[in-house]
Structure 1
């Protein structure tokens, strides 16, 4: 078992620990995107209807959503290392199960298990980053982690299309197995052990959390896919009722599973709001842009993929720079500048002429990538550093929950906008709405620079 370190890990142990954390989070995030591309092929092969095949995607997302916060809380009790390694092992085994599935039922069940494994990775990912890096270099570690998440999210469809062009759909999942084994071996040998809390695990709170977020995300997703309005209303109403009971119960807990203690810290609460709004804007754009480029502007699929590549490529350049800038500037300021640039890029995309030159699209995509890359690392850094060391698990879980909630909401909004907009106008409208969300996020981020939001302004920091 690895040693416990007080302020990060020394080299070369740190390099190995970073390698396994980054490899595993990239696999977990990628698997949330690659199944979307392979869905039509999988549905045909398994004789499933398009409507029922959606569960191949939903099962994975729901499993992650309902278990992120409970597993983050469990990590504070049994160690982040243990939750991570067990989650990675489950994810790897479940990936093999997905590859070997011969029916929609077995594939869906394997995806549920894979989602729980991915949640084990995601729930403690940033908490492990905080344990691996010395405090003076935490900004660089957070920026690298944000870079991997951003690239994995953006590159998922391209990677899936590449795999499907040379192999059958089971390879979308089978490729995870050798990579997962490598990451697991490195994790067991290199990850640091972390201090463990003495309080018991809140099983009732975990159940209420799972029901609240599961029903909420399911309702939002059902709304986006045009399911019966009475069913959507029932799911959202149930989520609100159970969520009210959950929050009231959490207020009585000394260490709440839903980190209400952290949300009372101004910088942490504002950073969560910023994260949700920005990821909502990102998903609005990611879902709408392929339709916009192909249906409205007349580009083919290959051209669309190449044009959109400017976005993640710019993030590759900007995210490490943002980590360095954190050593000199406040996260709220960097986040506000980045989100303002992101909003301008989205607005510029929405205002493209009917027959634009490819260069006109590329610089707009690059501006979006610049803005998002400059925002994400400072935002994650602000959340991690605002939380006390013993609550890093709660902070990590909320970070993942905010991202997933924002992305699910963004996807549902695109579906809604497409359904109510006149033919051909839905894609531009989605980009304008995305720009509005990014602008709101920029304003919220700027609030973190005010004196009332600074450390020490709220006693909840503790």
Structure 2
């Protein structure tokens, strides 16, 4: 075990940076209309601002954990934090949507360097009886950050413009860097081989899948798009074959998936990542363009979700270890799915906003039942020598789900807008809140009705995805019965993820 007197101080320092990088997964959602208008972009381009970040975040995660084990978690975390902070400044200075997309990709790379190191420090510095609580804090921060992002983004966009959702990362990044230098211990390093073939196959396969799905409607789902998607699936299949035959150190030790709870947790967290990113895009377009709300007001509609997630996550994280694994996450996924279905049904030009506040509160409690318990269940039964690899795969799965959710909702939203005969329409032209206010009521009314229909239909995608989480969680089994065998108990492991 590390000789550090209080591992909680190191964890508190790390979650400052961890919170910031997860915040940037969703903070852009509320700023999309403003970015579209200012940079003269269409909806597909502006969603790439999020997808580029998520894709660059997801692909390297399988190897960045090993970089931390080889060169020290603290060193790699600090390098990633520096990259992320400088890329944030680049984002804020961007003068075109293409420049912003490129800067967001670099941001994602910085985030990928940072994330596995936070779980590595938990695994290697906390004693077994404290690790569940530490993982609960880690999971709670992950869930809270994704929900607070739009609220903070709304305030910043209204205050100074969309650029400030990136400028704000600079001082936070500097503080997080200083705290990490001061409080995070320098842990021992280990030699590792790097599976460069696996890295290349996973990167190529994911890119082809995401690009094909997200750009499909723009290119009318032509032969090139389908070729790209099918090739992506084939390449990911080759990646799995490569991992199964790798006798050295594969990126994904497939033996991990013999543990039923680990395998199901990965499926559930992928569904959660996809659903969260796929929810925010259509919902904030609805609030700002159909309901004529400012970014701040639209973000505050989901404030109860963020607040109640923050309040209940630590409590539920502690309770979850004392009950059968399937109970709390199943309730959480079912509740979250029900609220998103409720959003989809209610998204009309004149529906009651207070109802959204109530549904958001229920969604917040549901989120608290998902993030922290899943993080604990995923690694609870893994053998100690595989605990680090399991943590890396879990992080990667969540991010892959997020980027596929972003791509999927982009394709569906574009298709539903086209089906409503809106063409490039008000959404495609980047008109923010109030963009239709100059139109006479007899013209504005039918357009708003068509817009709300397209946006509400898009919300059925994340609602349906959450049902996958319901099924996966319901199939969890008791910790002692899982196929993984021994539970990871020693506080220091050879982190491979």
Q: Does 1:398 align with 2:393?
A: yes
In structure 1, the partner of 2:462 is: 434
Q: 3-state DSSP class of the match of 1:331?
A: coil
Moved more, 249-258 or 340-349: 340-349
Q: Residue 311 of structure 1 contacts residue 368 of structure 1 at CA under 8 Å; is this kept in 2?
A: yes
**Alpha-carbon shift at residue 154 of structure 1 (Å):** 1.8
Separation (CA, whole Å) in 2 of partners of 1:39 and 1:428: 17
Aligned pair partner of 1:62 in 50, 55, 59: 55
1:405-453 deviation per Cα after TM superposition (whole angstroms, max 9, x unaligned):
2223333443444424653434444444433332331221121126xx8
Count of residues in Structure 1 that have an aligned counterpart in Structure 2: 452
Separation (CA, whole Å) in 2 of partners of 1:459 and 1:384: 12
Separation (CA, whole Å) in 2 of partners of 1:218 and 1:351: 30
Aligned pair partner of 1:5 in 2, 7, 13: 2
**Alpha-carbon shift at residue 206 of structure 1 (Å):** 1.8
Q: Residue 345 of structure 1 contacts residue 365 of structure 1 at CA under 8 Å; is this kept in 2?
A: yes
Separation (CA, whole Å) in 2 of partners of 1:346 and 1:46: 31
1:181-228 deviation per Cα after TM superposition (whole angstroms, max 9, x unaligned):
221222123223445444412222222222222222333332476664
Unpaired runs of 5+ residues, structure 2, are: 421-449, 489-497
**Pairs within 5 Å for 1:61-460:** 61-101=54-94, 107-194=100-187, 196-223=189-216, 228-253=221-246, 254-293=248-287, 298=291, 300-301=293-294, 302-352=296-346, 357-418=352-413, 419-420=415-416, 423=450, 424-449=452-477, 454-455=480-481, 457-458=483-484
1:235-280 deviation per Cα after TM superposition (whole angstroms, max 9, x unaligned):
2222223222222221122432023222232111110011112333
1:128-161 deviation per Cα after TM superposition (whole angstroms, max 9, x unaligned):
3333433223232222222222222222222223
Separation (CA, whole Å) in 1 of partners of 2:42 and 2:456: 30
Separation (CA, whole Å) in 2 of partners of 1:40 and 1:438: 26
TM-score, normalization by structure 2 = 0.80
Q: 3-state DSSP class of the match of 1:163?
A: helix
Q: 3-state DSSP class of the match of 1:300?
A: coil
**Alpha-carbon shift at residue 460 of structure 1 (Å):** 10
- C-alpha spacing 1:225/1:373, structure 2 compared with 1 (3 Å): farther
Q: 3-state DSSP class of the match of 2:370?
A: helix
- C-alpha spacing 1:433/1:105, structure 2 compared with 1 (3 Å): closer
1:96-121 deviation per Cα after TM superposition (whole angstroms, max 9, x unaligned):
33344556565444333222111111
Moved more, 375-384 or 139-148: 139-148
| CA root-mean-square deviation | 3.2
Structure number with higher relative contact order (C-alpha < 8 Å, ≥ 6 residues apart): 2
Aligned pair partner of 2:22 in 4, 29, 41: 29
Q: Residue 266 of structure 1 contacts residue 448 of structure 1 at CA under 8 Å; is this kept in 2?
A: yes
- C-alpha spacing 1:242/1:375, structure 2 compared with 1 (3 Å): same
Separation (CA, whole Å) in 2 of partners of 1:229 and 1:290: 30
Q: Residue 314 of structure 1 contacts residue 369 of structure 1 at CA under 8 Å; is this kept in 2?
A: yes
**Alpha-carbon shift at residue 127 of structure 1 (Å):** 2.8
